[in-house]
Amino acid sequence: MVAPTPAGPLTYLRYVLFHAVGLLMAAALVAGGVRITVALVGVVVAYVVGDAVVGDDLSTPHFTRPAWLTAQLWMALPLLAAIVFSAVWSASPGDPLRFGAAVQALTGYDALAAREATGFGHRVSAVLLTGLMIGMIGTITAHELIHRAWDPVSMTVGRWLLAFSFDTAFAIEHVHGHHRSVGTPADPATAPRGRGAWAHIVVSTWQGQRSAWHIECARLRRRGHPLLSRHNAMITGPLMSAALVIGAWAMGGALAALFFVLSGLWGKALLEVVNYMEHYGLVRDPAEPVQPRHSWNTNRLLSCWTLFNLTRHSHHHARGSVPFHALQPMPDAPQMLGGYLSTMLVALVPPLWHRWMTPRLLQWDAQQANAAERVLARQANERSGLRVLERATQRLG
């Protein structure tokens, strides 16, 4: 563990980079045309190159005013609302709320004309960019907030952030399911060896929703609440998402609603890709407590500072109650291929992913797994059907 260092006034601002990225993307969506595609490519390149060039952040500042950091988390909700409003406006006919006219009056830029001149390819970029922001601004922040069950404001903000990606069930399954069963076959978010990211999106989504339903039903029974009631978060959550779809429809009709739905589903898919790369192939004896070795970790500075330390996932799973700003870097934990976005891009190309991750899995088997986990790893290698893993199993045996 790295000893904490006192946090100076400017240290509190490191996470403001998160909000700056969101505001820039909202501006690009309003600007329209090629600027949308440039923003999408630019943010991806910035993360990939930035993480590679800047390197790791192993510092552990001690924050004496955590309320300031909580306020930054809460600010994600109005920020995401502004981003999604800008995106839905860009896909709407007319000028909802006279937003385009207001932009022109304030800046002199004819956003309406730019929107009309935006071609199909750039509109596809708008869906991808909006979904990326829903995942980054929404889901990542919500992930931190839904762990704060003692704080009703944080829980409410977290659930609304998840509503944008149609995944309020994540607040149930992740906290009460995933954290207990990570690294075991019972965990929907832990991808077994040999599975590709695209298959994991579908399988994990279905199994995660089913798990959340069972967890919520058990909670309602314990508290004496009926299944069909306002107390059922598996009912109220989808209604929150439905309200957002209705809002998009009110802005721009069916096309705007479709744009929002596609963006939200892409944001949900990105969450499952993140789950995939955070736990791919790692195994754990269910009788053993969760340790830092049961999650892939990364300390890339840009990812850490703009993703509220989600990257320090090994410590997060070892102690889920620790707030993001107190997470330790855990340099001895299994490490990802790079920063979050660069690892995600590799995960989306399954042959490349397996080629690069198989040696890391074998290294984990040999150096970090305990005796029971090595047995589980051999069995997983045999089930995977990947020849390289089968040969590796023979060498390990």
pLDDT of residue 23: 97
Q: In this predicted structure, what is the pLDDT of residue 386?
A: 57
Identity of the residue numbered 169: A
Supply 394's token pair.
Answer: 């023979």
Q: Which two tokens stand for residue 93?
A: 């006919």
Element at 125 (helix H, strand E):
helix 120-133
Residue found by looking up tokens 């995942």 in the block: 135
Instruction: Tell me the DSSP string of 85-109.
Output: HHHHHHTSSS-GGGHHHHHHHHH--
What pLDDT does 393 receive? 45
Nearest to 283 by CA among 295, 274, 299, 269: 295
Query: CA-CA distance, 241 to 43, in Å (whole number)?
Result: 27
Place of tokens 């736990």: 279
CA-CA distance, 60 to 168, in Å (whole number)? 31
List per-residue pLDDT tens for the chain, 397 residues long. Answer: 455 667 777 888 889 989 999 999 999 999 999 999 999 999 999 999 999 999 999 988 989 899 999 999 999 999 999 999 999 999 999 999 999 999 999 999 999 999 999 999 999 999 999 999 999 999 999 999 999 999 999 999 999 999 999 999 999 999 999 999 999 999 999 999 999 999 999 999 999 999 999 999 999 999 999 999 999 999 999 999 999 999 999 999 999 999 999 999 999 999 999 999 999 999 999 999 999 999 999 999 999 999 999 999 999 999 988 999 999 999 999 999 999 999 999 999 999 999 999 999 999 999 999 999 999 999 999 887 655 555 544 554 4
Query: What 3-state DSSP class applies to 147?
Result: coil
CA dihedral 282, 187, 278, 79 (to 10 degrees): -170
Q: Which has the closest alpha carbon to 284: 355, 349, 375, 388? A: 375
End-to-end CA distance of the chain: 33
The residue type found at 10 is L
pLDDT at position 236, please? 97
| CB distance 57 to 298 below 8 Å | no
Residue written as tokens 């995660």? Answer: 208
The residues near 147 (Cβ < 8 Å, ≥ 6 apart) are 175, 320, 321
Give the 3-state DSSP-derived string for 245-269, with helices as H, strands as E and coil as C. Answer: HHHHHHHHHHHHHHHHHHHHHHHHH
Coil, helix or strand for 230? Answer: coil
Partnered with residue 335 across adjacent β-strands are: 297
- Residue 383 pLDDT: 85
pLDDT of residue 396: 46
Spatial distance between the Cα atoms of 391 and 329, rounded to a whole number of angstroms: 33
pLDDT of residue 7: 74
Domain regions of the chain by residue span: 5-43+53-275, 352-397
**pTM given for the model:** 0.94
Given this model, what pLDDT does residue 191 score?
Answer: 97
Residue 4: what pLDDT? 61
